[in-house]
A and B are shown apart, each in its own frame.
Chain A
Amino acid sequence: MTTATMEEFAEVVTQRRFWDRPRRLGAALVLLGIVAAVLFGSLAPSRTARFTISQNESGAAISINGEVGAILFGVITVAAGAALLAGAGRRWQTTLLGIGIVAFVLSFLCWQVAGKFMPLVDTASGTLQVALPLILGALAGVIGERSGVVNVAIEGQFLFGAFFAAMIATMATSVWAGLISAAIGGVIIAGMLAVLAIRFLVDQVVVGIVLNLFATGVTGFLYERLMQTEQQKYNTPPQLPTWRVPGLADIPVIGPVLFNTTVLTWLALGLVVIVHFGLSRTKWGLRTRAVGEHPTAADTVGIRVRGLRYLNVLIGGAIAGAGGAYFTLVATASFQKNMTSGAGFIALAALIFGRWTPFGALGAALFFGFAQKLATYLSAVGSPVPSQFLNMLPYIATIVAVAGLVGRVRAPAADGVPYVKS
């Protein structure tokens, strides 16, 4: 059915060749740019917007007049859109799109920051920190879904990871024991998902959703029974230490963000590279992709479809569980009921928005992290833009991406279809 509707869609596109993807993107950018130049430009007060590079307000900063900046960057967005509309070379498509979107964001920022200042280091490191669990969760999804198992239970894996990290780290008074048990917590949920989906052929989306509710219930129940009564004994986990790499940490902006941070940051970024390399260059990756696209063919050449799927879902569980550790070992120093509050679903959105690739997921997670960080910043400086609408951004962006309004995303062919050997 999906294929049929997609064929219909393809037909529509071939009939109206003029409005191909770059042109639609271009038109969208031109519209955005006009909004930016006219609306943001007229609203922005003609005062200096300062983007500080150092930590304090008075230090080195990039400054621009708010009104001028809003209009200037709006015009740049229009120009990028116009270039796409005019049919600029295919090679420049991504670059132009990137320039357009960045300029739009900058135009918005010029309006908001005019007369105030925005600490760049804090924004960048905040973005990365908010994005950390999203990166790990989305990677877990990538590994599972590329082998054909839909993982909607990322939220549940986060919760179990966060809970186990808090509890074991407190009981063992070792943050590393906490990190490892977080991964194990994720594996528990992933194992349930794998057995139910692969062995018992239950609809994977159904299992995922139900497992999320299960994880919410179990962690909430144990929290109330154990942690609430004996906070000291079960729920005061030590925090992951912040490590500073000498030398590298002194690079402006990038240094403090990347080299003065916890091991979880390096784990997340390292895993992106490892998973990307693994999926594209190794035997395991080739097999994973084969199993996810055409399990029957993979089985014919002797790949153990179900075994590989089990393996991938469990690896994913460990990664997502480690992502859950972020909530209790880095962000806050205790477990709270339902503390992930939908981060698992944003990770799912990042995975889809990033087109089921590790680097795509990284980009999407950073983008969503930036949106959230910006929302906190704006509500802190008392912006007229409600933070709720900025928080909606990840969800709406994903709807737009999935609906193919600006370029379609396509899942692996056998994603979510259980394999029954015949």
Chain B
Amino acid sequence: MTTTEAAPPKEPKHREQRRESFLSVFLHNLWSANTVVVTILSIVLAMIIGGILMIVSDADVLKMFGYFTARPSDALNASWTLVSTAYGDMLKGSIVDPAAMSAWFDGTGSWQAAFFPISETLTYAAPLVFTGLSVAIAFRGGLFNIGGQGQAVIGCICSAVAGFSLGLPIVLNLIVALLAGLIGGAIWGFIPGFLKARTGAHEVIITIMLNYTAGLFLTWLILQSGVHDPQRSDAISKAVPESAQLPSFGGSLRVHLGIVLAVLVTAGIAWMLNRSAFGFELRAVGANPNAARTAGISVTKTYTLLMVVAGALAGLGGATQVLGTAYTLTPAVAGNIGFDGLLVALLGRNRPWGTLFAAILFGALRAGGNRMQSYSGISLELVSVLQALIVIFIAAPALVKTIFHLRAARSARLGASMAKGW
């Protein structure tokens, strides 16, 4: 897929006429299909569909719809209560819980409780930033890295094994474990990159297959002696010692150094994409590989290197997961961070800072989903539905545009992404 990076729209006509007032530009853009509006409307649409799912799957509310014509207020009120409580819990679990906040001001509660929601959000966001960046830069170079999951799994394995087996002193152990994850991911990314460059094998197929290979390798490795925790009978590895764990900020809060690392890496990737020679080359290859080749850029080298970098980022995501929150290897240690990274990159429109914010949004959905599950009894799975729906709408801006009758955007940035096929 090539994200058509639009040339700045030329509007000489507008320049020659009068400069439009800020207000009119604002009003015009308010209802046109530009990035911000489409993103917001996508989220709104997804939440509406999520709300419908909640109502449809609630037997009590459905019963009230049975006599909807007789007393519509019953059904509507019940639906509203159900949906608004659920989404309210989501907000309280992800950004701020007013009760805890006021308790902190009163002096009855601790500041940890007040910042707990934000902490959870950032904890879930940290690995997603890395896997999201991994997918995003591959996209920019014209490659579709579905292998984030596999690369993250290998990253988890390498950093965990390095963490609990090397026995290095504090700080050094953490750095070595992070590097191990990074290198492991890089190797797992090198395979599809190299095969793509040498034989033209499609990276989507190769990375899908490598995801499952990595997952199976993980389930095998956990049970091997030296890795498996001898005190446990289930599939779980030894824990990473404290010297290799990413330190957390405040007492009981889970948020750890990983999110700082994520911001730094985002800045680094942004610099690399926009300012470095390699970034230029990969964008050139992504825009048009034939033209890039003609211009003297080695497409083969760029593809391989690009996948190595993408793999390294996803591996770092796995490392953050295992060193920051999980501490042990289990078959599901990497969760779904690779595939979520794909959604995050699409939502962030393959830009580094966009990916960072998208990851934080996904982290917020996840953290809020936890509270929603325990308080309103709405399954956490709703969060995956919401995430998938948001990205479906983001990926099909034309759909959102049709639904809301938006004006065509002035900039052509949202041009539908054209597929490349196998």
Query: Contact at B343–A213, with CB atoms within 8 Å?
Result: yes
The answer to whether B382 touches A200, judged by C-beta atoms less than 8 angstroms apart, is: no
Q: Known contacts being A4-B290, A201-B398, A218-B53, is A403 close to B195, with CB within 8 Å?
A: yes
Q: A5-B197, A402-B201 are in contact. Are A414 and B416 (CB under 8 A)?
A: no
Tell me, in angstroms, the Cα distance from A402 to B342 when the chains sit together. 23
Taking the closest CB of chain B, its distance from the CB of A312, in whole angstroms, is: 16
Contacts A218-B53, A403-B201, A416-B421 hold; do A200 and B381 have CB atoms under 8 A apart? no
- Complex: A203 Cα to B271 Cα, angstroms: 28
- Assess whether B212 is in contact with A342, with CB atoms less than 8 Å apart: yes
- A203 and B395 form a contact (CB under 8 A): yes
Choose one: A205, A213, A403; the contact of B388 (CB below 8 Å).
Answer: A213
Per DSSP, are chain A's interface residues mostly helix, strand or loop, or mixed?
helix
Bound CA–CA A159/B124 (angstroms)? 27
Does A171 sit at the interface, judged by CB under 8 A?
A: no
Q: Which residue of B lies closest to A207 (CB)?
A: B395
Which chain B residues lie closer than 8 Å to A416 at the CB level? Answer: 419-422
Task: Please indicate the chain B residues that have their CB under 8 angstroms from the CB of A405 in the complex.
Answer: 199
* Chain A CB within 8 A of B5 CB: no
| CB under 8 Å from chain A, chain B span 116-173 | 142, 144, 146
Q: Is the CB of B417 within 8 A of A202?
A: yes
Closest to A391 in B: B216
> Is B57 touching A210 in the complex (CB atoms < 8 A)?
no
Which residues of B (211-264) have their CB < 8 Å from a CB of A? Answer: 212-213, 216-217, 219-220
Contact B205 A352 (CB under 8 A): yes
Q: Is B188 an interface residue (CB 8 A)?
A: no
Rounded to whole angstroms, the CA-CA distance of A181 and B421 in the bound complex is 31
Chain B residue contacts of A176, Cβ below 8 A: none
Is the Cβ of B384 less than 8 Å from the Cβ of A213? yes
- Would you call A56 an interface residue if the criterion is a C-beta within 8 Å of the partner chain's C-beta atoms? no
Chain A residue numbers with a CB within 8 Å of B219 are: 388
Q: Is the CB–CB distance between B396 and A200 below 8 Å?
A: yes
Size category of the B interface is 35 or more
Alpha-carbon distance between A382 and B197 when the two chains are bound, in angstroms: 41
- Is B34 positioned at the interface, with any CB of A under 8 Å from its CB? no
Q: Is A67 an interface residue (CB 8 A)?
A: no
Q: Does A381 contact B (CB under 8 A)?
A: no
Interface string of A386-402 (1 = CB under 8 A from B): 10110110011011001
Judge if A73 is at the interface, Cβ distance under 8 Å.
Answer: no
Counted as pairs of residues, one from A and one from B, with CB atoms less than 8 Å apart, the total is 192
Q: Contacts of A4 on B, CB cut-off 8 Å?
A: 289-290, 293, 299
Q: A57–B90 Cα gap in the complex (Å)?
A: 59
Contact partners of B418 in chain A: CB under 8 A: 201, 203, 418
1/0 per position for A208-248, CB-CB distance to B under 8 A? 01110110111011111110000000000000000000000
Q: How far is the CA of A210 from the CA of B384 in the complex (A)?
A: 10
A92 → chain B closest CB, angstroms: 27
A residues near B199, Cβ cutoff 8 Å: 5, 9, 403-405, 408
1/0 contact trace for B258-294 toward A, CB 8 Å? 0000000000000000000000000000000110010
> Is A217 touching B384 in the complex (CB atoms < 8 A)?
yes
Q: Is the CB of B395 within 8 A of A210?
A: yes
From A1, A150, A226, A398, B57 is in contact (CB under 8 Å) with A226
- With A202-B417, A416-B419 as contacts: A224 and B209 at CB distance below 8 Å: no
Q: How far is the CA of A60 from the CA of B249 in the complex (A)?
A: 70
Q: Which of B404-422 contact A (CB under 8 A)?
A: 416-422
B1 & A399 in contact (Cβ 8 Å cutoff) = no
Q: Say how far B221's CB is from chain A's closest CB, in angstroms.
A: 9
Q: Is the CB of B195 within 8 A of A221?
A: no
Type the 1/0 row for B345-378, where 1 means its CB is closer than 8 Å to any CB of A: 0100000000000000000000000000000001
Mark A344-358 against chain B: 1 for CB-CB distance below 8 A, else 0. 010011001000000
| Of the residues B208, B289, B416, B421, contact of A201 by C-beta under 8 Å | B416
Distance (whole angstroms) from the CB of B389 to the closest CB of chain A = 7
Pairwise interchain contact B197-A418, C-beta atoms closer than 8 A: no
B72 is an interface residue with CB less than 8 A from chain A: no
In whole angstroms, what is the CA distance A396 to B1 when docked?
A: 25
- Residue B200, interface by CB 8 Å: yes
Nearest-CB residue, chain B, relative to A396:
B213
Among B382, B392, B416, the one with the most A-chain Cβ atoms within 10 Å of its Cβ is B392
Residues of chain B contacted by A414 (CB below 8 angstroms): 421
Residue of A nearest to B207 (CB): A399
Q: How far is the CB of B288 from chain A (nearest CB, A)?
A: 8
**What A residues does B212 contact at CB under 8 A?**
342, 345, 392, 395
Q: Does B387 contact A (CB under 8 A)?
A: yes
Name A123-159 residues within 8 Å CB distance of B. 148, 150, 152
Q: What is the distance, in angstroms, from B396's C-beta to the closest C-beta of chain A?
A: 4
Any chain A CB within 8 A of the CB of B87?
no
How far is B419's CA from A201's CA once the two chains are assembled, in angstroms?
Answer: 8
Q: How far is the CA of A152 from the CA of B211 in the complex (A)?
A: 15
Closest to A352 in B: B205
A342 to B387, CA, bound (A): 20
CB of B201 within 8 A of CB of A203, answer no
What residue in chain B is nearest A414 (Cβ atoms)?
Answer: B421
New A-B contacts (14) at CB < 8 Å, excluding given A203-B1, A389-B220, A417-B420? A1-B299, A2-B420, A5-B200, A202-B395, A203-B144, A205-B204, A214-B385, A218-B53, A222-B53, A225-B58, A342-B212, A403-B195, A404-B199, A418-B418
The 9 A-B pairs at the shortest CB distance, nearest first, are namely: A416-B421, A217-B384, A1-B289, A220-B381, A214-B388, A217-B385, A225-B57, A224-B379, A395-B209
